[in-house]
Structure 1
Amino acid sequence: MTARKLGLLISLSLFVAADSAHASGTSALAQELTRSQQVNKRVVNVWWLPLEYWLAAAQELKKPAQEIDDVRKLFRYYLIIAVLDARVLDDGKLEPATHAEIGPHLQIRRNGKPVEILRDVDPRVARRVGELSYLLKTSLSMLGVGLRIFFLPNIDDDGRPLLQGASRGLLTIRYAPGEDEDAFEYVWHAPLTAVAGPQTCPDGGESLEAHWAYCPWHGIKLRGE
């Protein structure tokens, strides 16, 4: 299997998931949240997985109300990202990078400020993530075993979340896959359309991304800016 075929497989997996009955939940979010890069004989996918994603996953998996409430309360403390870095070997087999191989090559900025990966995570959150990441791993088929999840702090001094899918914000991740590869930059702008819903141009009525400040066709400043 070539890196190109692997990349197509990932894209197809996500497309099929988005076209499923869950298209309005985690699949729609995953489509908006994934960033992909093909590098020589490897494919890299990076996801930002905000609180809204985990709530949608808990609901789709029909978790009890108490567990969903726990997700809402506990996950707000964390900025969670996932990385799949799969190298294609000469025999066609896949070799996913480990947490230890990926972590040192990640540079993350939340709303313009650098943020470090946490070493210690609330075990309740780690356990819930292990359960709720099932949907994303399943959508990736055999590649799901290579999904690596990282936790970062996401609360200000007053206990308020710093970055959410429903409010304005910016996440930037630089990642260099392998020792000899250049770093790639992945950017997410919030609010997410899958969370906040699309905007509508007041002039032409076009459907626009939730985070856009202006209509690109008419140059009109959008409501909420």
Structure 2
Amino acid sequence: MPKPTLLFLFLSVSLSIFQVKLHAQDPQALMDETHFTSTYLHRSHSVWWIPSAYWELSLRQESELTEREINEVLRIFDPYLLIIVIDAKINDDGTTNCSSLSEIWAKSELTVNGNLTSPIPTTKLSEDMRKMLKVFRPFLKNLLGRLGEGAQFLVYSNTEDTRIDSRLPGSITLKLGDETFRWRLPLGSLLPPKIDPKTDETFPGNYNFNPYTGDELTVEK
């Protein structure tokens, strides 16, 4: 079980991703690829898939953490696929009412690499994972205000047939009511940028060809 000091460091590092450059990676680009928002027919959705790479990059920025402590946190998240969802009804007076976890379960469907997968009830999660989610909730409240209070954690198995790696080819599709959110992998923000040798244009790391000319791209050196 994580030590209290480690949980505190984990929360601090989670906050830092919005302020600190993660080595050669762009944290804003990572957010753009994993976080979607939409407003449709008086409903507002915020959907954020947090891949294991998020925690790995964040934790390695914290010099006080040992390699053993970093691996301890990664071990907790590794068996799971975590998506944070806010499903809010926008009232005429501008206030919002957020759906409960059970309501989101009833209107959502997740497929991983084309395979339908069901969410794991909170009671079936490991004790360490439940504790981590509890620590993470105040962070969302501070970041998003009242909407953050309505955030729900959708947790799925990330083992065996449904395992996904954000740096390898794959896909995740979440249907939420009448809307669909898709993540195509690998995530370009986690890979070295690609360059067109002919035009010197730079593209995300998950591009193989220049979308305008069709010419093959190479890894930027």
Shorter-chain TM-score above 0.5? yes
The answer to whether residue 183 in structure 2 is matched with residue 185 in structure 1 is no
Q: Deviations over 1:165-203 (max 9, x none)?
A: 222211111110xxxxxx211111122122224322233
The Cα RMSD (Å) is 2.9
Using the TM superposition, give the Cα deviation of residue 162 of structure 1 relative to its aligned residue in structure 2, in angstroms. Answer: 2.1
Say which SS state the counterpart of residue 78 (structure 2) adopts: helix
* Whole-Å separation in 2 of the counterparts to 1:52 and 1:105: 28
Higher mean displacement: 90-99 or 62-71: 62-71
The answer to whether residue 143 in structure 2 is matched with residue 143 in structure 1 is no
* Whole-Å separation in 2 of the counterparts to 1:138 and 1:221: 44
CA contact (8 A) 2:82 2:156 kept: yes
Aligned length: 199
CA contact (8 A) 2:189 2:204 kept: no
1:5 maps to none
The structure-2 alpha-carbon separation of the partners of 1:208 and 1:139, relative to structure 1 and needing over 3 Å to count, comes to farther
| 1:45-194 → structure 2 map (5 Å cutoff) | 45-58=46-59, 64-65=65-66, 66-119=68-121, 120-132=124-136, 135-156=139-160, 162-176=163-177, 183-194=178-189
* Whole-Å separation in 1 of the counterparts to 2:62 and 2:54: 12
Using the TM superposition, give the Cα deviation of residue 28 of structure 1 relative to its aligned residue in structure 2, in angstroms. Answer: 4.2
CA contact (8 A) 2:85 2:153 kept: yes
| 1:29-44 → structure 2 map (5 Å cutoff) | 29-44=30-45
Q: Give the unaligned 5+ runs of structure 2.
A: 1-14
CA contact (8 A) 1:74 1:125 kept: yes
Using the TM superposition, give the Cα deviation of residue 100 of structure 1 relative to its aligned residue in structure 2, in angstroms. Answer: 0.9
Using the TM superposition, give the Cα deviation of residue 68 of structure 1 relative to its aligned residue in structure 2, in angstroms. Answer: 2.3
1:3 maps to none
Please, what TM-score do these two structures have when normalized by structure 1?
0.75
The structure-2 alpha-carbon separation of the partners of 1:83 and 1:130, relative to structure 1 and needing over 3 Å to count, comes to same
Please, what TM-score do these two structures have when normalized by structure 2?
0.76
The structure-2 alpha-carbon separation of the partners of 1:122 and 1:202, relative to structure 1 and needing over 3 Å to count, comes to farther
1:195 maps to 190
CA contact (8 A) 1:170 1:188 kept: yes
The structure-2 alpha-carbon separation of the partners of 1:166 and 1:61, relative to structure 1 and needing over 3 Å to count, comes to same
Using the TM superposition, give the Cα deviation of residue 23 of structure 1 relative to its aligned residue in structure 2, in angstroms. Answer: 5.5
